[in-house]
Structure 1
Amino acid sequence: MPPSPSPDVRGAGAVSTTDRPVDDHDTPGAPLDRLAVDLRVSLLRTARRLRAQKSVDDLTDGQFSVLAQLVNGGPRTPGELADAEHVRPPSMTRTIAALADAGLVSRTDHPVDGRQVLVAVTDAGRDVVLETRARRAAWLSRRLEDLSPAERATLAEAAAILTRVISA
């Protein structure tokens, strides 16, 4: 017969540390770590849902990002785009080729450096970026409509704080 459990002599309502759920908030620094994890997960899930709202399904996130760079900053060399996107030049060359094949960018000779080309967004490429941005804004706006004014104010404050955090 197994031994009977020994009675808890600490008094009624006492909880054994082995029976208590692990609460990482008891660890120094843990509340910030928990907040960091919660924010990371929420931001990644939100970004994933927003990325899914695009006007052209066969466009990769990297290709869309290059188009957006060109819409925002104007024509650039492949090297400048590779630097801005933090990819190696051969990867950018493949991305530009795919976008050119789809009619979303054009390549022209560089006006100063004959060894270079300039990549520019076409009207079709600009339309893809603008339509995708509109879809993403509409998707998020629909979700924000369900929140109370106080919750929307909290998110507005959080957006400003997050902008400061990532700018530091």
Structure 2
Amino acid sequence: MLTNPQKTESAANLRTDAGLASALRVSLARLNRRLRKQGTGHSLTPTQLATLAAVERHTAMTPGELAEHEKVQPPSMTRVIANLEERGLLARTPHSTDRRQVSITVTPAGIALLKEERRLKEVWLAQRLKDLTPEERATLRAAAPILEKLSTT
């Protein structure tokens, strides 16, 4: 029986934490790229989409909080907010306790865009999952909480 040397080498590399880290990094980056392509055709950048989703998750944020959360400089976040506001996806309202600040909230149009974006990605991924064996899907079900833990720590 002939074996694929690359697969044998990859399996051997998965035995170490460094090899597993490398394989996960490559696979997750590739999956993330594929998922990004499944979007609605809205022409938002990944930063704009992440910003919109962050504001939705947190209900309302100041521009400074948003910049800190997204790990970008405040002037960059100001430009992102302005662009999303211009498109009608975010709105600025006076801050409830500090008149020098504004709160950023997602508009109904922004919520609808995020909802459709997620729906399209989930449809694509669900279709891909159908190509897997029941055992492979069971493995992914077991791995999902672990991947979530990695992404939040």
Normalising to structure 2: TM-score of the pair?
0.86
How far 1:26 moved relative to its partner? 8.6
Contact residue 106 and residue 122 of structure 1 kept, 8 A = yes
- Structure 1 position 156 matched with structure 2 position 136: no
- Segments of 5+ residues of structure 1 without an aligned counterpart are 1-20
Q: Percent of aligned positions with the same letter in both sequences?
A: 45
Does 2:40 align with 1:55? Answer: yes
Residues 1:142 and 1:26: Cα distance change in structure 2 (over 3 Å): closer
State the number of aligned residues: 146
Cα distance, 1:25 vs structure 2? 8.8
1:74 to 39, 56, 59: 59
* Offset from partner CA, 1:2-35 (integer Å, 9 cap, x none): xxxxxxxxxxxxxxxxxxx9x69999x9733222
Superposition RMSD on alpha carbons, in Å?
A: 2.3
Listed as ranges, the gaps of 5+ residues in structure 2 are 1-5
Residues 36/110 of structure 1: CA separation in 2 closer, same or farther (3 Å cut) = same
Q: Is the 8 A contact 1:24 1:31 kept in 2?
A: no
Distance change (3 Å), C-alpha of 1:117 and 1:56: farther
Larger Rg: 1
Q: 5 Å matches for 1:110-149? A: 110-149=95-134
* CA deviations over 1:19-59 (Å, ceiling 9, x no partner): xx9x69999x9733222211110000001111222124310
Counterpart CA distance in 2 for 1:167 and 1:62 is: 19
Task: Name the TM-score, length of structure 1 as normaliser.
Answer: 0.79
